[in-house]
Amino acid sequence: MNKPEILPQQRRENPDPEEGRTPIPWLVLALALALAAFGVVYISRSNLDAPAIWGDGRSAAELAGDKPAAGAKVDGGAIFTSMCAACHQPTGLGLPGVFPPLAGSEWVLGKPDTLAAILLHGINGSIEVKGTAYQGAMPAFGGSLGDAEIAAVLTHIRSTWGNAASPIDAAAVAAARARLADRKQPFSGGAELAALP
């Protein structure tokens, strides 16, 4: 049998790499185990019953998403922050040309019944706010928020960002909800809202 000829190019090649007996370096393995042990110790020693005041101030019921108990004060500012600030902005100035401002808005400072109707049923269509026309959609919150929660949000926006209008109570929102109980669609813009009694 003839011995195969080995070309000069083949002689320059290095042998194929092999894993050897330790595919993971010991240092990396030790570091991973140390991090895992630290995580277990940290979690086992953490205090899950820490007072809410150490965090952002929310109670356990708020974190669980429970509705406020009857008679409990509802935080309209917190509801505004979680459900309204994305569009109308935390400053109440809205986004020019997209979402109308609430600061100084004639709709916010106007009739409480009309403002409650806006939150209960929403708007689809053109509405003019402070001389600027806005074309868009505002969702209805009547199905997801109770009368006390809507009243708290309305009172918050009527008394923030320089607005100085009277508060709205849950009874006024309940009356608006009952008066508009047959309505299933959003209002079709400012003209329809202005025609409300």
Dump pLDDT digits (tens) for 89-100: 899 898 888 889
Q: State the chain's mean pLDDT as an integer.
A: 83
pLDDT tier, 7 (very low <50, low <70, confident <90, very high otherwise): confident
* In the chain, where the domains are located: 72-194
Tens of pLDDT along 116-126?
888 988 888 88
- 72-194 folds as Cytochrome Bc1 Complex; Chain D, domain 2 (1.10.760)
pTM for the model: 0.62
**What's the pLDDT score for residue 68?**
53
> What DSSP line would sit under 110-166, residue for residue?
S-HHHHHHHHHH-EEEEEEETTEEEEEEE---TTTS-HHHHHHHHHHHHSSTT----
pLDDT tens for 25-71 read 889 989 999 999 999 999 888 877 766 556 666 565 655 555 555 55
Structure-block tokens of residue 126: 């053109």
